[in-house]
Amino acid sequence: MSSRPNSMLLVICIICLAGLAGCKSYLPKSTSAAPEALNGRLTVGSDNRTYRLHIPEGYANEKPVPLVLALHGAFSSGRKMERFSGFSALADKEGFIVVYPDGIGLFGLLRHWNAGFCCGRAMTADWNDTDFLLRLIDVLSEHLAVDPKRIYLVGMSNGGMLAHKFAAEHPQRIAAVALVAAAVGARWQGQEEMQGVLPPSLPVPAIIIHAKDDPVIPFEGGRGDNRDDVEYLGPKDAVAFWCNANQCGEVPVENIRLQEKGDWIRWDTCMGDAEVAFLAVDKGGHAWPGEQTDPPNLSEDDISGTEAAWRFLSRFSRE
């Protein structure tokens, strides 16, 4: 008798067990948090959306805690965002919930986001990623002890572009936003004018983190090395956008050189106690600063985008 059926059965069992093991990271520690409603899947309109949810160690579902939404870049995933950012480990340490939404892709691959001015089919087909994030916040807030005053948004690259858009369109839902290696606008081939997000109706504290040697979204803006059919607004344009939106003063209160690793510039004379910060990393390319590896390869002097983002975000609450 052939062993092929048994082999196939073994493979299927292994896949199922691996899937069950992966589901553990979705589930809260407390049974009162309605885990059946937090299984990593969410229907928004006609779309079935997915996400990864990390509940911090010691979570009790009684005391409200902050929530961080961490958006991956194009052709990535929430699982990868969790791995290379290290936000889940920081969440255990600092006591906040972190969720990693997934963009839509083909057969679970090539996931990306519609930021209005970018990118790919998400933009041309006008996928409603903003509604997905709104619905996700509502579901998590319904079943977990989320502090509505301390909901934060973080985005990398294409995810950062969506974070720009979401923060500008729904400033009342988040307390602060962190934009990493992201553009605030772009002009595609055939377009006469630069496309971007509109200013928010309320001030939003924002930190922009960007490497000076980013080859995809150049530090000074323009065309990246990976394609010549799009021009991006650079991080300085993003800083100007949020400084103008928050009505900050022209002179920063801090302008510090960080151990020959980068520059830290901050404006705090803004409307509604908002701030804008700019962390310009000397080297790092189009990647998450201090990307996590196993074993970790960060030295004490290296810049961690995760730590920098959380230190900024956690200082703010939305009244």
Stated pTM of the model = 0.86
Q: Which domain holds residue 141?
A: 28-313
User: How many structural domains compose the chain?
Assistant: 1
Tens digits of per-residue pLDDT, 289-317?
988 665 455 555 578 999 999 999 999 99
> Which carries the bigger pLDDT value, residue 218 or residue 11?
218
11 lies in some domain: no
| Residue environment code for 23-38, b if the CB has 16+ CB neighbours within 10 A, otherwise e | eeebbbeeeebebeeb
Flag whether 319 is in a domain.
no
**What's the pLDDT score for residue 299?**
52
Q: CA-CA-CA-CA torsion for 169, 80, 211, 91, nearest 10 degrees?
A: 70
Helix (H, G, I), strand (E, B) or coil at 245: helix
Task: Evaluate whether residue 16 is within a structural domain.
Answer: no
pLDDT at 275: 98
The residue with greater pLDDT, 6 or 181, is: 181
Q: Are strands 65-71 and 97-101 parallel, antiparallel or unpaired?
A: parallel
Neighbour-count burial of 154, counting CB atoms closer than 10 A to its CB (0-12 exposed, 13-18 middle, 19+ buried):
buried
Q: What is the pLDDT of residue 30?
A: 42
Which pLDDT value is given to residue 78?
Answer: 93
Q: Worst-scoring range by mean pLDDT, 2-6, 97-101, 155-159?
A: 2-6
Identify which has the larger pLDDT, 91 or 15: 91
Residue 33 scores a pLDDT above 90: no
Portion of the chain with pLDDT greater than 90, in percent? 66
**64 lies in some domain:** yes
* 169 within domain boundaries: yes
| Domain membership flag for residue 143 | yes
Instruction: Report pLDDT for 163.
Output: 98
Predicted pLDDT at 25: 41
In a domain, 222, yes or no: yes
Residue 5 lies in a domain: no
14 band by pLDDT with thresholds 50, 70 and 90: very low
CATH number at 35 reads 3.40.50.1820
Q: Is 80 exceeded by the pLDDT of residue 285?
A: yes
